[in-house]
Amino acid sequence: MHYKYKSKPFAHQKKALEMSWDKEVFAYFMEMGTGKSKVLIDNIAMLYNAGKIDGALIIAPKGVYKNWFDSEIPSHMPDYIEKKVGLWRTKPDAADLKPMFSTGAELHILIMNVEAFSTKKGVDFAKKFLASHKTIMAIDESTSIKNPQAKRTRAIIDISINSKYRRILTGSPVTKSPLDLFAQCYFLSPFLLGHESYYTFKIRYAITKQVNVSGRMIQLVVGYRNLPELSDKIKPFSYRVLKDDCLDLPKKTYSKRTVELTDEQKKLYKQMKQEAIAFLNGKVVSSTTVITQLMRLHQITCGHFTSNDGVVQDVKSNRINQLMDILEEVEGKAVIWAHYRYDIKKIVESISKKYGENTVVTYYGDTSTDDRQKAIKKIQDPESPVRFIVGTPQTGGYGITLTGASTMIYYSNGYDLEKRQQSEARIDRIGQEKPMTYIDLICEDTIDTKIVTSLRNKVNIATEIMGEELKDWI
């Protein structure tokens, strides 16, 4: 169809749209960094232009859904389309959400976090929206509904019958966890895979054995089968894109994932902020004490803090969960940088638990010289089971080559511009054949935002932020 883009599409994005734009159901299995968000936005606009829809419900995890509101839709939705965009929050009677149910010729776009569908309030609001419009319903990072027994999965599938057009977006390949496909495809249509129950689907594609766990016999999945058949079944309604296939992608893509502070973090952050300002007021401070004040606030956003007696206290945080959600979307190998030793240990523990101890190596102060060399060798070896290397920019950010990975995640950032630039360059070296993706985890409205913004604007916080300027930061 004739369609005027706001932002120029790449060849693979055009192909995705040609394959899907007027289909009732479709799956964009597009690796992170290949621009699946833009494809969905153009698809929504095309359907609206054709008079097929006047509403869109976009569902995404908490760390992602605000990006749709703040940057994705403003960047890619054509300006000539009259639209009203609403961002879900826990108060459904908020003034900016009321226009979501108004009638008129505009395109109404409601963006909700997937967690909201574990609540009656969220489900009822979404149902009301779908009943008010002719809609497309899309789930970004659709692995978030992979568990068919989860309350939010069941709720989303139940209300999906009220939407004629449905889309799922994920970077995860079929062979990563084939059983995860059932609920995602069931959301699109119960008939796509030829199985209306998860039980029969599992019997067909999983190899199980009976084991005794605490006196109870359970069926444990030990392998998979009939995967070529499953792959053939999903081909008619999906499009798979890897970075390797996209010769026209930009060399580097930067993105952020938002992490919501827990109530405990909010309380501690507020206290620490007040103490830091009180400490700075009326005093001449050195760069060392400035960084100390920043560090205390920064530690709290990361999920811990060091008390005056030097003991590290754990603080309940959503950060590690957000990282694990990102890793589900990552294809191939990834470098993960963290500013604090404490965080590295938590990251390694979580990765080992989910993916196995043989999938992760470290490169930081506590890693021996021999183990550092082994870590580099393993991350560079495409045949190695190691997928993740976790380290600090101050130790691993200089001189080494990590081109076996094309994704780099900053779990937390330091304050030194040189260390940031040097660490980014570990995957951007001779031998890198893939487009690179850099992801920052950020707690909004905290010191996190200031740090990342400044580093991207080439500001060396470690030496340039002082005195009164620091107070503005805090």
Any domain includes 282: no
- How far apart, in Å, are the Cα atoms of 299 and each of 148, 344, 366? 36, 13, 20
How many residues make up the chain in this entry?
A: 474
Say yes or no: 359 and 216 in one domain: no
Residue 428 backbone zone (phi > 0: left; psi -120 to 50: alpha; other: beta): beta
The 10 Å Cβ neighbour count of residue 115 is 16
Q: Which amino acid is at 253?
A: T
The 10 Å Cβ neighbour count of residue 254 is 15
Say yes or no: 412 and 335 in one domain: yes
pLDDT in the model for residue 467: 61
Any domain includes 286: no
Any domain includes 157: yes
In the structure encoding, which two tokens stand for residue 59, read together?
């569902």
- What's the rounded Cα separation, in Å, for the pair 366 and 384? 23
Q: Which amino acid is at 103?
A: T
Task: Give me the number of domains the chain comprises.
Answer: 2
Q: Which residue ranges of the chain lie beneath pLDDT 70?
A: 1, 173-176, 247, 277-291, 308, 465-471, 473-474
pLDDT in the model for residue 456: 86
- What's the rounded Cα separation, in Å, for the pair 182 and 157? 12
Cβ partners under 8 Å of residue 213, min gap 6: none
pLDDT in the model for residue 20: 97
Cβ partners under 8 Å of residue 50, min gap 6: 1, 22
Domain boundary (248, 281, 296) is at 248
Residue environment code for 282-315, b if the CB has 16+ CB neighbours within 10 A, otherwise e: eeeeebeebbebbbbbbbbbbbbbeeeeeeeeeb
Any domain includes 195: yes
In the structure encoding, which two tokens stand for residue 187, read together?
């959301």
Say yes or no: 212 and 345 in one domain: no
Say yes or no: 363 and 457 in one domain: yes
Say yes or no: 233 and 338 in one domain: no
- Residue 87 β-bridge partners: 111
Domain boundary (248, 273, 293) is at 248
Cβ partners under 8 Å of residue 275, min gap 6: none
Provide φ and ψ at 350, rounded to 5°: -70, -45
The whole model's pTM is what?
Answer: 0.82
Strands, E, within 38-163: which ranges? 55-60, 83-87, 107-113, 135-140
pLDDT in the model for residue 121: 93
Say yes or no: 239 and 155 in one domain: yes
Q: Evaluate whether 416 touches 461 at the Cβ level (below 8 Å).
A: yes
pLDDT in the model for residue 13: 95
- What's the rounded Cα separation, in Å, for the pair 428 and 432? 6
Q: Evaluate whether 185 touches 204 at the Cβ level (below 8 Å).
A: no
Say yes or no: 93 and 206 in one domain: yes
Cβ partners under 8 Å of residue 59, min gap 6: 65, 112, 113, 114, 117, 137, 138, 139, 140, 156
- What's the rounded Cα separation, in Å, for the pair 57 and 444? 24
Q: Evaluate whether 58 touches 110 at the Cβ level (below 8 Å).
A: yes
The 10 Å Cβ neighbour count of residue 350 is 16
Q: Evaluate whether 207 touches 225 at the Cβ level (below 8 Å).
A: yes
> Which residues constitute the domain of residue 412?
253-260+315-473
- What's the rounded Cα separation, in Å, for the pair 166 and 310? 53
Say yes or no: 332 and 242 in one domain: no
Strands, E, within 40-99: which ranges? 55-60, 83-87
Domain boundary (194, 225, 248) is at 248
In the structure encoding, which two tokens stand for residue 399, read together?
């001189």
Count, in order, helices (H) and strands (E) of the chain.
19, 17
Any domain includes 269: no
Any domain includes 308: no
pLDDT in the model for residue 148: 94
Say yes or no: 37 and 178 in one domain: yes
DSSP letter at 357 equals G
Any domain includes 277: no
- Picking from 72, 60, 240, the residue whose alpha carbon sits closest to that of residue 145 is 60
Say yes or no: 327 and 217 in one domain: no
Q: What is the domain-level CATH number for residue 395?
A: 3.40.50.300
pLDDT in the model for residue 468: 60
In the structure encoding, which two tokens stand for residue 203, read together?
């019997």
- How far apart, in Å, are the Cα atoms of 409 and each of 207, 234, 283, 302, 337? 34, 30, 37, 14, 6
Say yes or no: 237 and 319 in one domain: no
Any domain includes 4: no
Say yes or no: 235 and 323 in one domain: no
